[in-house]
Structure 1
Amino acid sequence: MLKRICCLLLPILYMGPAFGQAPKQKPNIVIILADDMGFSDIGCFGSEISTPNIDRLAHEGLKMTQFYNAGRCCPSRAALLTGLYPHQAGVGDMIKYKGSPAYQGFLNENSATIAELLKDEAGYNTIVSGKWHVGLQQSALAYNRGFDRSFTMLNNGSSYFNSAPLYNDGSKITFMLNDKEVTRNDTSKYLTQAITDFAVKSLDEIKAQQKPFFMYVAYNAPHWPIQALPQDIAKYKGQYLKGWDVLRKQRYEKQLAADIIKKQWQLSARDKRAPAWDSLSPEEKDKWDTRMAIYAAMVYRMDACIGEIITKLKQLGKDKNTIILFASDNGGSADEVKSLSTVIQKSGVPGSVNSIDSYEIPWANVSNTPFKLFKRNTHEGGIATPLIAWYPGHIKAGSTNDSPGHLIDLMPTCLDLAGVKYPTQFKNRQLTPLAGVSLVDAFKRKPYTGNKTLFWEHEGSRAIRKGKWKLVAESGQPWELYNLNADRSEINNLADKFPALVNQLKDEYGQWAVKVGVVDWSKIANL
């Protein structure tokens, strides 16, 4: 009798899946971040550069066309990793201390990384490969921030062929393999390939484990110095002799045809610092063609390496339960490296280890089509990024979402996917509440509006976006107001027409700035 009662009660007491079904697996999560890649630099967002693997992710997944970064490498990485505005994580600027907690230059104790929370709260394996750049202090290094396996570059950039110094101030380029420094020499693999190989190798090392994994692949490409493999450069040499004026228009037309942009958004004017292409001599055209061919080769090789990661996931049978998220840390860079006295200049064969160069304002203006301005700026050219989300069976193929989103949303998205609640405390550290919101509803095509208000500040450049309105100002310049529904290219400044709205948004920005610790840039710029 007792045996019969136990048999009857057992299905009631057992709270697991019924009828022998396996528990639902937590998804594997891969975040891939490009460095200094503009809004239009991949094929599915308008580019002529061949990016079939990224394009495949977009074709089989979701494109978010009004997604944002924090305008520069360090702040964007801090925002992505922590789900906080950069200032809240201690990285309001770069990795140099600027006199206040919001600009201390490394991840603070009131932030936790995606890896820390997924590892401790959900049992994930955690991997990072690539550019780290959120602090040089031990407490801020990847192996102390939740990553089981890490190959990281701590600096803003490096030669793609070795780890020789880039700057003439005596500072070194530091690569780390877990907790040990490693040196890259001229016989080392091309950096984009080395980052990929570590990621693939790490996946092989954990393939027998039943735990899910979180992997963050942070490419340094296509950040300067523009250096690429000779065969990749040859693929693009001569393709840019048509010039930046033609290329910007062609990318713009492709974006319109692909519904990446709205037809009412005009193509912004060529940056006034860039000459008309037809005014250049044949020798100048050849030089500029070479620069862009090298840049294109860097994007092309990054895409090929992303293809290797996708292939490895499929080989391991992990592709069906893995979500891949792809974005860029800021817009195309207007840096003119050959004019920087702080950089060790090299003028060897363009694109080689013996050359230090950048693609400068004219081509960065193409990268950021249809927008104006660049990395470091909080106009759209500096902060707009493609966001591609791929998750077979969960995200509808070929879908598009034009709701605003931001890198601060990736932490809450990862936690949501893994079924983890963001804690108020972590390892005796009081955590700052998340600034981002989960993107999962957007992935599921449910009603999703994103963050209704977003904010930016970087070296005095500042902005607030609330609904269709954006208030933006460069450092030391007056506020500008744009209706992004009608004019995301920021051509028609409406500040004089709507002074009350300017004041309202300015006040709201001011409240946010106080909350996160923004400091007047003119008072800290030289610290």
Structure 2
Amino acid sequence: MMFDHCTLLFLFSSAATVQAEQSASGGSGGSGLGGSGSGSGAETPIHILFILVDDLGWFDVGWNGAEIKTPVLDQLAREGVTLTQSYVPSVCTPTRGAIMSGRYPYHIGLQRGGIRPTRPFGLPLNITTIAQRLQTAGYSTHAIGKWHLGFCKWDYTPCERGFDTFFGFYGGGQDHYTHRKKYHSKVFHGARVSGLDFRRNRRLVTNINGTYSMEAFAAEAIRLISEHDKHTPMYMYLSLQAVHGPLQAPKRFVDMYKEIKNKNRHMKAAMVTAMDEAIGNITAALEKAEMWNDTLIVFTTDNGGPVNSGSSNWPLRGSKATLWEGGHRGAAFVHGKMLNKTGYVYNGMIHTVDWYPTLLSLAGVNVDDTDLDGMNVWDAISNNKSSPRQSFVYNLLLTDETLSGGIRFNNWKLLVNPRSRRSEWYNPANASFPELFRKPLSDTLLFDLDADPTEHHNLASTKTDVLAMMMSRLNEAMESYVPDLIKQNPETAKSNPANFGDAWSPGWC
């Protein structure tokens, strides 16, 4: 019988199961205090901890002024470099595709949205992922948490895309305690089907029902760190389920926010603080393993916060899944002793696609791909220099020959046919968020983000010369448009968990 690498690691691992009590020990820890860094040129390799949080809003963290308690993250951001113009796609799968490929979602067919568990496709197999590139440089690579880049066949799953180990789930969301995904679709004749979605490498994990997912993922990260040879470079892709719905958190965190009257905001705050504590436990493990001084942490949300489930992007406009700044401008920072300058706020423009060449360059991997959209921004971030990035594409999406999209160039932002739902400003100081209504909008909007970062003033009718220049840039971007894969891959009932022993599993495309 043939086994893939991940399966072999599972069979010979001394810790094939996660003990929930492991993650409950310790406090917020991991302050990042003390020690002198080895620097990027030292003999000790640079370890990379890439923390991707799900559905975290701009105003869901303490360092942006939120009422939510995030002491660990606040300190890491304060000691590192806080990124005020770190742009991300506005929904789950596109962001993950951009991280893995260094390409805009509209260049790899992932621009329409998240991959549903009934769609027979994934991150295109001709993509060489950042994990695969790091493996060639001698890195030990680990993926923990949410995948959401396709699973209809094994070739799409993490162990085949460059990760030595995987502990998490394939889909876009699930119950944080039962780890089951419920999905309603017409292909199931209107029924809501349910299945387990949790794996260690390729093998189903069936013994953690009742363990909060954030605790399980933190325990796995801590175990891997404690067992790791610090002289071997490590890349850990910690793609958290937090703080994505359903809104669930351990009671001790829920009890911390009784003063928040809005139920969704109350639960979202509890989830954020639970996540903050878990990250503190992970950073404490890095210190204990003597890896802290040589670890670069990249922390970012995958998209703006969904205002319909308690998040806030205040004072930015809009929500997750919109073209507004609230959908794309992400809470983010970097932390590490190898940064030349620390303790400051970086206002330069960067995009998710930039992490691919930036991290590979730090790892000593030659990046000469001509089809990358990403730029190496390390020198800019590390030395507080001007960003090499002056423009980017928010997204481009064709639906029945109608284009919806946005583009940025310096201080200018152009939107064409933005969705109008959740297009307002949502301040959590209100007793309840405003009604999420659909409001008529102009089909062409132009903003000067330097003067108007909250997108109140459409200048399309007065800055006609700028509008013409931006439209030209948008049309140029459309020349490299790749048709979206969702439209090409209709849903199928073949993925029904009933066909795979009550689990969402590969093997149906």
CA drift of 1:24 comes to 2.9
Aligned equivalent of 1:134: 149
Aligned to 1:180: 203
Aligned residue among 215, 230, 236 for 1:193 = 215
Asked if the contact 2:230–2:289 (Cα under 8 Å) also holds between the matched residues in 1, the reply is no
Q: Distance in 2 between matches of 1:81 and 1:520?
A: 17
The answer to whether the 8 Å contact 1:143/1:149 transfers is yes
For residues 8-87 of structure 1, the aligned pairs below 5 Å read 24-87=43-106
Q: How far 1:58 sits from its partner (Å)? A: 0.9
- The answer to whether the 8 Å contact 1:151/1:177 transfers is yes
Hey, what does 1:351 align to over in structure 2?
none
Residue of structure 2 in register with 1:514 after alignment: 479
Q: Which residue of 2 aligns with 1:480?
A: 445
Q: CA deviation at 1:398?
A: 1.6
Q: Among 225, 229, 236, which residue is 2:250 paired with?
A: 229
| Distance of 1:173 and 1:118 partners within structure 2 | 31
SS at match of 1:291: helix
Give unpaired runs (5+ residues) of structure 2: 1-40, 185-191, 398-402, 421-441, 492-509
What does residue 166 of structure 1 align with? 182
Paired residue for 1:109, among 111, 119, 125?
125
- Cα-to-partner distance string for 1:399-445 (whole Å, 9 max, x where unaligned): 11111111111111111111111255xxxxxxx72111112112321
Which protein has the bigger helix share?
A: 1
Match for residue 457 of structure 1 among 372, 390, 395:
395
- 1:211 partnered with 2:184: no
- Aligned residues: CA RMSD: 2.5
Give yes or no for the alignment of 1:143 onto 2:143.
Answer: no
Structure 1 residue identity aligned to 2:149 = V
Judged with a 3 Å threshold, the aligned counterparts in structure 2 of structure 1 residues 517 and 184 are, in CA distance, closer, same or farther, namely farther
> C-alpha separation between the residues in 2 aligned to 1:23 and 1:165?
45
Any stretches of 5+ residues in structure 1 without a counterpart? 1-21, 98-102, 242-287, 336-358, 425-431
Between Structure 1 and Structure 2, how many residues are aligned? Answer: 415
Is the 1:94–1:105 Cα contact (8 Å) retained in structure 2? no
SS at match of 2:267: helix
Kindly indicate whether the alpha-carbon contact (under 8 Å) linking 2:318 and 2:325 is maintained by their aligned counterparts in 1. yes
Q: Which aligned pairs between 1:67-466 and structure 2 lie closer than 5 A?
A: 67-94=86-113, 96=115, 105-120=121-136, 122-136=137-151, 137-168=153-184, 169-170=192-193, 172-183=195-206, 186-187=209-210, 189-206=211-228, 208=229, 210-238=231-259, 240-241=260-261, 288=262, 290-335=263-308, 359=309, 363-364=310-311, 367-422=312-367, 424=369, 433-445=371-383, 447-457=385-395, 461-466=404-409
Alpha carbons of 1:38 and 1:76: their partners in 2 closer, same or farther (altered >3 Å)? same
> Percent identical across equivalent pairs?
30
- C-alpha change, 1:525 and 1:480, in structure 2 (3 Å) is farther
Give the TM-score normalised by structure 1.
0.74
Q: Given that residues 346 and 384 in structure 2 are in contact (C-alpha distance below 8 angstroms), is that contact kept between their aligned partners in structure 1?
A: no
For 1:418 and 1:520, how far apart are their aligned partners in 2? 32
C-alpha separation in 2, matches of 1:174 and 1:92: 24
Measured after TM superposition, the shift of residue 456 of structure 1 is 2.1
Query: Are the structure 2 counterparts of residues 517 and 171 from structure 1 closer, same or farther at C-alpha, using a change threshold of 3 Å?
Result: farther
Aligned equivalents of 2:485 and 2:108: distance in 1? 18
Counterpart-to-counterpart distance in 2, 1:514 and 1:195: 41
Q: State the match for 1:354 in structure 2.
A: none
Secondary structure (helix, strand or coil) at the match of 1:127 reads strand
How far did 1:125 drift?
0.5
CA 1:215–1:462: 2 relative to 1, 3 Å = same
For residue 166 of structure 1, give the secondary structure of its aligned residue in structure 2.
strand
Summarize deviations over 1:157-185 as a string: whole Å, max 9, x none.
11110123322432535222112222365
Are the counterparts in 2 of residues 61 and 395 from structure 1 also a CA contact under 8 Å?
no
| Greater CA drift, 412-421 or 502-511 | 502-511
Q: Which amino acid aligns with 2:325?
A: E
CA apart distance, 1:470: 0.3
Alpha-carbon spacing, 1:96–1:159, altered in 2? closer, same or farther (3 Å): closer
Distance (whole Å) between structure 2 residues aligned to residue 200 and residue 380 of structure 1:
35
Amino acid at match of 1:89: I
Deviation at 1:450, TM superposition (A): 3.5
Return the offset for 1:293.
1.5
Q: 1:138 to 1:305 in 2, by over 3 A?
A: same
Aligned partner of residue 330 in structure 2, secondary structure: strand
Give how far 1:92 is off. Answer: 2.0
Q: Which moved more, 1:153-162 or 1:473-482?
A: 473-482
The Cα shift of 1:151 comes to 0.7
Describe the shift of the 1:185–1:193 C-alpha distance in structure 2 as closer, same or farther (beyond 3 A): closer
Tell me, in whole angstroms, the C-alpha distance in 2 between the residues paired with 1:497 and 1:518: 34
Contact 1:377 1:461 in 2 (8 A): no
Which residue identity is paired with 2:202?
Answer: D
- 2:367 & 2:124 partners in 1: Cα distance? 17
Larger radius of gyration: 1
1:353 is matched with which residue? Answer: none
Deviations 1:278-333 (A, max 9, x none): xxxxxxxxxx2x32221101000000000011100000110111100100011111
The 2-side partners of 1:161 and 1:499 are apart by: 54
Maintained 8 Å contact 1:60/1:396: no
Q: Check the 8 A contact 1:91/1:104 in 2, yes or no.
A: no
CA contact (8 A) 2:80 2:344 kept: yes
Q: TM-score, normalised on structure 2? A: 0.76
8 Å contact kept, 2:144–2:221 = yes
> What do residues 4-56 of structure 1 show as CA deviations (whole Å, max 9, x unaligned)?
xxxxxxxxxxxxxxxxxx96333101110111111121111111111111111
Quote how far apart the aligned CAs of 1:155 are.
1.1
